[in-house]
Amino acid sequence: MSDEMRLGRERRFLVLLGIICLALIGGALYMQVVLGEAPCPLCILQRYALLLIALFAFIGAAMRTQRSVSVFEGLVVLSALGGVAAAGHHVYTQFYPAISCGVDVLQPIVDDLPLAKIFPLGFQVDGFCSTPYPPVLGLSLAQWALVAFILTVILVPLGIYRNRKNHA
Protein backbone atom coordinates (compact mmCIF):
# COMPACT_ATOMS: atom_id res chain seq x y z
CA MET A 1 0.00 0.00 0.00
CA SER A 2 1.37 3.41 -0.93
CA ASP A 3 2.13 6.16 1.57
CA GLU A 4 -0.64 8.30 0.11
CA MET A 5 -3.20 5.52 0.56
CA ARG A 6 -2.09 4.98 4.18
CA LEU A 7 -2.35 8.69 4.89
CA GLY A 8 -5.75 8.81 3.17
CA ARG A 9 -7.02 6.06 5.46
CA GLU A 10 -5.94 8.02 8.54
CA ARG A 11 -7.53 11.21 7.20
CA ARG A 12 -10.84 9.42 6.55
CA PHE A 13 -10.75 8.01 10.09
CA LEU A 14 -10.20 11.52 11.46
CA VAL A 15 -13.18 12.87 9.50
CA LEU A 16 -15.36 10.05 10.86
CA LEU A 17 -14.13 10.73 14.40
CA GLY A 18 -14.90 14.44 14.04
CA ILE A 19 -18.41 13.71 12.78
CA ILE A 20 -19.04 11.30 15.67
CA CYS A 21 -17.91 13.92 18.20
CA LEU A 22 -20.19 16.56 16.68
CA ALA A 23 -23.06 14.05 16.73
CA LEU A 24 -22.42 13.40 20.43
CA ILE A 25 -22.57 17.13 21.14
CA GLY A 26 -25.79 17.28 19.12
CA GLY A 27 -27.21 14.42 21.18
CA ALA A 28 -26.30 16.23 24.39
CA LEU A 29 -28.01 19.39 23.12
CA TYR A 30 -31.10 17.36 22.20
CA MET A 31 -31.23 15.89 25.71
CA GLN A 32 -30.77 19.36 27.18
CA VAL A 33 -33.33 21.23 25.07
CA VAL A 34 -35.95 18.56 24.37
CA LEU A 35 -35.67 16.34 27.45
CA GLY A 36 -34.80 19.12 29.88
CA GLU A 37 -31.58 17.56 31.18
CA ALA A 38 -29.54 20.51 32.47
CA PRO A 39 -25.77 20.31 31.89
CA CYS A 40 -23.40 20.49 34.85
CA PRO A 41 -19.86 21.93 34.78
CA LEU A 42 -18.37 18.51 34.02
CA CYS A 43 -20.89 18.00 31.17
CA ILE A 44 -19.76 21.27 29.64
CA LEU A 45 -16.08 20.35 30.01
CA GLN A 46 -16.85 17.07 28.21
CA ARG A 47 -18.49 19.07 25.40
CA TYR A 48 -15.33 21.16 25.11
CA ALA A 49 -13.24 17.98 24.91
CA LEU A 50 -15.52 16.59 22.17
CA LEU A 51 -15.35 19.90 20.31
CA LEU A 52 -11.55 19.97 20.53
CA ILE A 53 -11.32 16.37 19.32
CA ALA A 54 -13.56 17.23 16.36
CA LEU A 55 -11.63 20.40 15.56
CA PHE A 56 -8.22 18.70 15.70
CA ALA A 57 -9.54 15.69 13.77
CA PHE A 58 -10.89 17.87 10.95
CA ILE A 59 -7.71 19.96 10.79
CA GLY A 60 -5.62 16.78 10.84
CA ALA A 61 -7.71 15.34 8.01
CA ALA A 62 -6.92 18.43 5.93
CA MET A 63 -3.15 18.04 6.39
CA ARG A 64 -1.09 16.59 3.55
CA THR A 65 2.01 15.22 5.27
CA GLN A 66 2.32 12.31 7.66
CA ARG A 67 4.10 14.50 10.21
CA SER A 68 1.35 17.15 10.27
CA VAL A 69 -1.40 14.52 10.46
CA SER A 70 0.49 12.93 13.36
CA VAL A 71 0.65 16.24 15.23
CA PHE A 72 -3.12 16.63 15.07
CA GLU A 73 -3.69 12.99 15.97
CA GLY A 74 -1.60 13.68 19.07
CA LEU A 75 -3.77 16.70 19.87
CA VAL A 76 -6.86 14.51 19.44
CA VAL A 77 -5.48 12.04 22.00
CA LEU A 78 -4.58 14.85 24.45
CA SER A 79 -8.09 16.28 24.12
CA ALA A 80 -9.55 12.81 24.70
CA LEU A 81 -7.41 12.44 27.83
CA GLY A 82 -8.95 15.69 29.10
CA GLY A 83 -12.34 14.16 28.34
CA VAL A 84 -11.40 11.01 30.27
CA ALA A 85 -10.54 13.17 33.29
CA ALA A 86 -13.82 15.14 33.16
CA ALA A 87 -16.02 12.12 32.41
CA GLY A 88 -14.19 9.95 34.94
CA HIS A 89 -14.73 12.52 37.68
CA HIS A 90 -18.37 12.85 36.58
CA VAL A 91 -18.93 9.08 36.83
CA TYR A 92 -17.28 9.09 40.26
CA THR A 93 -19.52 11.97 41.38
CA GLN A 94 -22.60 10.09 40.20
CA PHE A 95 -21.59 7.00 42.19
CA TYR A 96 -20.82 9.13 45.26
CA PRO A 97 -23.33 12.03 45.12
CA ALA A 98 -22.13 13.39 48.47
CA ILE A 99 -18.93 14.38 46.63
CA SER A 100 -19.44 17.73 44.95
CA CYS A 101 -18.56 18.16 41.32
CA GLY A 102 -17.17 21.52 42.27
CA VAL A 103 -20.15 23.47 40.98
CA ASP A 104 -19.29 26.39 43.25
CA VAL A 105 -15.73 26.47 41.98
CA LEU A 106 -16.12 25.21 38.41
CA GLN A 107 -19.32 26.96 37.36
CA PRO A 108 -17.98 30.53 37.14
CA ILE A 109 -14.80 29.30 35.44
CA VAL A 110 -16.69 27.27 32.84
CA ASP A 111 -19.23 30.05 32.31
CA ASP A 112 -16.38 32.52 31.69
CA LEU A 113 -14.96 30.47 28.82
CA PRO A 114 -15.51 32.14 25.42
CA LEU A 115 -18.01 29.63 24.00
CA ALA A 116 -20.27 30.10 27.04
CA LYS A 117 -20.67 33.71 25.98
CA ILE A 118 -20.94 33.04 22.24
CA PHE A 119 -23.24 29.98 22.49
CA PRO A 120 -24.69 29.94 26.03
CA LEU A 121 -27.28 27.27 25.24
CA GLY A 122 -24.55 24.76 24.47
CA PHE A 123 -21.76 25.81 26.81
CA GLN A 124 -23.23 27.38 29.94
CA VAL A 125 -23.67 25.47 33.19
CA ASP A 126 -27.25 24.90 34.26
CA GLY A 127 -27.26 21.80 36.46
CA PHE A 128 -25.55 19.64 39.05
CA CYS A 129 -23.21 16.71 38.38
CA SER A 130 -24.98 14.42 40.83
CA THR A 131 -28.44 14.81 39.23
CA PRO A 132 -29.56 11.32 38.20
CA TYR A 133 -31.04 11.22 34.71
CA PRO A 134 -32.50 8.09 33.14
CA PRO A 135 -29.80 5.83 31.66
CA VAL A 136 -29.41 5.34 27.93
CA LEU A 137 -29.02 1.64 27.09
CA GLY A 138 -28.11 0.97 30.71
CA LEU A 139 -25.41 3.62 31.12
CA SER A 140 -25.49 7.24 32.24
CA LEU A 141 -24.37 9.92 29.80
CA ALA A 142 -21.18 10.37 31.81
CA GLN A 143 -20.45 6.64 31.49
CA TRP A 144 -21.08 6.73 27.74
CA ALA A 145 -18.81 9.77 27.44
CA LEU A 146 -16.09 8.00 29.43
CA VAL A 147 -16.33 4.98 27.11
CA ALA A 148 -16.10 7.25 24.04
CA PHE A 149 -13.08 9.14 25.37
CA ILE A 150 -11.27 5.94 26.40
CA LEU A 151 -11.95 4.41 22.99
CA THR A 152 -10.52 7.52 21.34
CA VAL A 153 -7.39 7.39 23.52
CA ILE A 154 -6.89 3.72 22.58
CA LEU A 155 -8.06 3.57 18.96
CA VAL A 156 -6.30 6.63 17.54
CA PRO A 157 -2.77 5.48 18.48
CA LEU A 158 -3.66 1.86 17.65
CA GLY A 159 -4.89 2.94 14.21
CA ILE A 160 -1.71 4.90 13.59
CA TYR A 161 0.41 1.94 14.66
CA ARG A 162 -1.50 -0.56 12.53
CA ASN A 163 -1.55 1.77 9.54
CA ARG A 164 2.17 2.54 9.68
CA LYS A 165 3.77 -0.62 11.13
CA ASN A 166 4.80 -2.07 7.75
CA HIS A 167 5.85 1.32 6.48
CA ALA A 168 9.09 1.75 8.42
Which domain, by its residues, includes 37? 3-164
pLDDT of residue 53: 97
pLDDT surpasses 90 at 109: no
Report the distance separating Cα 84 and Cα 122, nearest Å: 20
Q: For residue 136, give the DSSP letter.
A: B
What is the tally of structural domains in the chain?
1
pLDDT of residue 153: 95
CATH number at residue 117: 1.20.1550.10
- pLDDT tens-digit series, residues 19-32: 999 999 998 899 88
- pLDDT tens-digit series, residues 124-159: 887 777 777 777 788 888 898 999 999 999 988 887
pLDDT of residue 1: 54
pLDDT of residue 3: 67
pLDDT surpasses 60 at 102: no
Longest dimension (CA), the chain: 56
pLDDT surpasses 70 at 6: yes
Report the distance separating Cα 37 and Cα 34, nearest Å: 8
Stronger pLDDT, 129 or 93, i.e. the higher one: 93
